[in-house]
Amino acid sequence: GAGVSQSPRYKVAKRGQDVALRCDPISGHVSLFWYQQALGQGPEFLTYFQNEAQLDKSGLPSDRFFAERPEGSVSTLKIQRTQQEDSAVYLCASTSPGQNTEAFFGQGTRLTVV
Amino acid sequence: GENVEQHPSTLSVQEGDSAVIKCTYSDSASNYFPWYKQELGKRPQLIIDIRSNVGEKKDQRIAVTLNKTAKHFSLHITETQPEDSAVYFCAASPSRLGYSTLTFGKGTMLLVSP
């Protein structure tokens, strides 16, 4: 596609509910990142995929967070038993192969846990 | 891990003035320093980046300088315009990982008044 696409744009979840956030990266981009952006803060790294392999999940805040990219394209970030502190914008970014290449961000999913 | 500090948190200037945003980083292995502009409710977009093998880079009204010794880099915007109003984030990425996980500063809200 023309850019990184994320859905849904907005999600309201009741505390304890499970949610799934989708990211469709730019075609041909093997690297995919998830970031969490709290209100008024910079994005914080959650996890990294190279094709279908999750090479770094050091930023996931708890075992309630799980990400997958089974076919090396679309990725899903799942949050189980959501809590109020999970409220944030979840950004997905993809880059072309190589190091220090531009990260293209999606518009994000704003998650509000009530 | 990497820690990026960004100042100021807010910056108000008159149209036509210059704006300077400063960042420091902690990890001497970082070698890629992008700057992102994020308008309200929109995705972060890369405006300029610099790699550690150069000390300065310019693109029209925007310039970035890097001082590796001091672990310091800055964004300079000249002849500011109202459409420059947004939140600006600096970021740093270490080379050791083989992929570019970005550590962001907390952002600077730039307001350009006509």
Residue of chain A whose alpha carbon sits nearest to that of B99: A99
Contacts of B36 in chain A (CB under 8 A): 105
Question: Chain A interface, mutation test: which of B7, B49, B66, B101, most A Cβ atoms within 10 Å?
Answer: B101
Tell me how far apart the alpha carbons of residues A92 and A104 are, in angstroms, rounded to a whole number: 8
- pLDDT above 90 (res A22): yes
Report how far residue B97's alpha carbon sits from residue A67's, in angstroms, rounded to the nearest whole number.
20
Query: Residues of chain A whose C-beta is under 8 A from some C-beta in B?
Result: 4, 31, 33, 35, 40-45, 48, 50, 55-56, 91, 95, 99-108
Residues of A in contact with B66 (CB under 8 A): none
Please check the confidence at residue A1 and state whether its pLDDT lies above 60. no
Pick from B63, B67, B57, B66: nearest CA to B77: B63
Digit-coded pLDDT (tens) for A59-95:
999 999 999 999 999 999 999 999 999 999 999 999 9
- Cα-flanking dihedrals φ and ψ of residue B82, to 5°? -55, -35
B37 CB neighbour count, 10 Å cutoff = 21
Amino acid at residue number B73: F
pLDDT in tens, A34-48: 999 999 999 999 999
Phi, psi of B54 (to 5 degrees): -130, 155
- Give, in order, the Cα–Cα distances in Å from B107 to each of A3, A11, A34, A90, B86: 24, 25, 19, 17, 10
Average pLDDT over residues B8-16: 98
* DSSP class of A64: T
The distance of Cα B96 from the centroid of its chain, to the nearest Å, equals 22
How confident is the model at residue A97, as a pLDDT? 75
Cβ separation A108–B106 shorter than 8 A: no
Rounded mean pLDDT, B96-114: 89
Question: In the predicted model, is pLDDT for residue B96 greater than 70?
Answer: no
Whether pLDDT at B66 is above 90: yes
pLDDT tens, residue by residue, B37-63 = 999 989 999 999 999 888 999 999 999
- CB contacts of A104 in chain B (<8 Å) are 46
Residue B12: both structure tokens together: 């108000």
- Indicate the pLDDT class of residue A26, thresholds 50, 70 and 90: very high
Mutate which: A99, A107, A109, vs B, most B CBs within 10 A: A99
Name the residue facing B43 among A44, A48, A106 (closest C-beta).
A106
